[in-house]
Amino acid sequence: MVCAALATMATSATAATLTVSAGGDLQAALNAAQPGDTILLQPGATFTGNFILPVKNGSADITIRSAAPDSALPADGQRITPDYAVQLPKLRSNSNGAALATAPGASHWRLMFLEFFPEPGTTTADLVELGATGSQQNTLVQVPQHFIVDRVYMHGDPTNGQRRGIALNSGDTQVLNSYFADFKGKNVDTQAICGWNGPGPYLVENNYLEAAGENIMFGGSDPSVPNLVPSDITIRHNLISRPMAWMNQGWTVKNLVEFKNAENAVVEGNIIENHWVGGQQGSAIVVTPRNQSNTAPWTVVRNITFQNNIIRHVSSGFNILGYDNLAPSQQTDTVIVRNNLLYDVSAKYTSSSTAGPARLAIVGAGPKNVTFDHNTVDNDGASTLFLYGGATPTGVQITGFTLTNNLLKQNSWAIYGDAVGQGQPAIDHFTPNATIAHNTFAGAAARLYPTGNDFPAVAQWLADFADRTNGDYRLVPTSLSRNAGSDGKDIGVDYVELMAAINGASSPVVAPPPVVVPPPLVNPPVVMPPPVVTPPPPVAKPPVTTPSGSRPYSGTAIGLPGRIQAENYDKGGEGVAFHDTTGGNAGKTYRTDGVDLQATTDAGGGRDLGWTVKGEWLKYSVTVASARRYAVSFRVASKGTGGTFHLEVDGVNVTGTMRIPNTGGWQSWTTVTRTGVALTAGPHVLRLVMDTNGTNGAVGNFNWIDVK
């Protein structure tokens, strides 16, 4: 028998269903399962131990889930809650380690409708370890890949806490619709999710994440894989929180979101709340490169975007550091903070005698390309933006600093430079050549700040909001900040975009447009906009009809959902069906019209698109069967860190910027995915666009695009 309970074959000829009842041998079922199989665990049964997900040959997921019927469980896209616990099998960690871990190189496992928690008295282990560290995982070949954790309930002991929910050291992993609670400890770091030795990409979407140390963190321990930087991270539509009751219970509290070694991350559409001064100075969100044990000088925080989030009931907002002040690191580069609402940012949130700094941000030690655009910030700290020097190899100046279209208060000092003072002297010393325009600095003296900003009285600034007491920071129709931004929008947060993101939509990741600094704002005309309402979850827009001039390669448009082979781009030639910057087919295979194709060693064989560089593109004529949201996956490879690309539908960018990670070779393949892409039914033209080159001088290789 495969396990102590029943093992039955499903009616499908290609997949089996293995059932494990209470007292059954779960590890035997894991060992016996084949790609495409489902392992059903008895609801309410407890399985204690250190189970291992083994290596299988195949690309179909093996699913481990509750045997409860779907009708008794949350639907696809619905977040699970503890109320469903009675329907869930229990996987319990013990003093020997995680309840569930992976063998080196394991791949394609899906965890659904499960509950994870520790055996009493064993709160120092991770509950789930996807990937490993040390000699078990010091090359990319050993990294486990392709995991989905969906509608899973993970929690620590209510009294004693737990170290960590998921150690996220895998590649191509999604954590969806799950519930993490009671990850807390005293004099120890704790996290709901933490990753440091996996390459990504990662999607963390629609979860409740509760922890004391850091609710979600990337970095914090040096990678065992040389030159590894966790990359292509999407954190969206989550509630990132902790109970305010913890403030006086002695748990070690540090941050809510932290990046210590990460690149190409988007944090969007989240509610990030409930943070206080505890184990650290009180910033809710931390962007600080840390070569933690002085063995990873490549450590960097780069290309991080925070947009369309609500950040509330916190002791301070952001902490952005240019270089690790304790060990060598790379320079923090490109941090964008746009269209966020920060309110109830208050000095009162502290568990000690030290008041919270209650700022928008503290920025220092010379990062570059830091942008704050279209944020609304209601704080009561002495300074709103604090700048400082610190130890850096490049000097203390912040090059490429942008502060535009923000609703800010002066308090004591709107912008303060350490040992320099407030206003223009701080700007000149720490952010020379900065763009600072179209902001309000309520209560500040205009003579202390650059022209092109507004300086209303604090009482007027507060009166501009629809219902500040209840957290409604929409501008009233009579506000002089209406339509006064550099882009013609309101100064401060765009409420329609913000609420659409909170409710499920995503926005392209873009830097703000160049700002022309005008004379000081003087009584701009009042424009009465239509009432702003919280929108429902977005629906797919009708396509923009743009005749492509190209024709399907096979004569028939590719049907979606389905797979698009990269080499089967449309016919029509240069400038019509594709744009290639070099003459001829460098791979000399399959087609002879100038696009570079080559034979691939990826599973299934065939050809791949290679030698891609910035500015090139290809079109694919498709027909979509039904209007809904799809997951779009790209099979990619790169020797060295690859470049960025995006996918357009009828001329509209639907994926945002995506990056190809370092896969270890031009024929070492991985899959990067963007979920929630809305497509309407009917014919469309997709365009795969190469945006930037990677460190190897190319964007990367493409084998196929899956839409499902």
Model confidence pLDDT, tens digit, residues 86-95: 999 999 999 9
pLDDT for 310 equals 98
Query: Which structure tokens are listed for 39?
Result: 């392992």
CA distances from 40 to 45, 83, 356, 645, 691 (A): 11, 20, 49, 39, 44
pLDDT for 6 equals 37
509 pLDDT band (50/70/90 cuts)? low
Tell me if 225 sits within 8 A of 194, measured CB to CB: no
pLDDT > 70? residue 506: no
Question: What percentage of the chain reaches a pLDDT higher than 90?
Answer: 82
> Helix H segments across 157-247?
none
pLDDT for 508 equals 60
3 pLDDT band (50/70/90 cuts)? very low
pLDDT for 372 equals 98
pLDDT > 60? residue 615: yes
**Whether pTM exceeds 0.85:** no
Write the pLDDT tens digit of every residue in 334-391: 999 999 999 999 999 999 888 999 999 999 999 999 999 999 999 999 999 999 999 8
pLDDT for 524 equals 32
562 pLDDT band (50/70/90 cuts)? very high
Report d(CA 58, CA 70) in Å as an integer.
26
pLDDT > 50? residue 521: no
pLDDT > 70? residue 462: yes
Kind of pairing between the strands at 407-409 and 440-442: parallel
CA distances from 610 to 190, 597, 641, 656, 702 (A): 43, 6, 15, 22, 7
pLDDT for 696 equals 86
Write the pLDDT tens digit of every residue in 262-318: 999 999 999 999 999 987 878 999 999 999 999 999 999 999 999 999 999 999 999
Tell me if 659 sits within 8 A of 690, measured CB to CB: no
pLDDT for 582 equals 86
Write the pLDDT tens digit of every residue in 416-425: 999 999 999 9
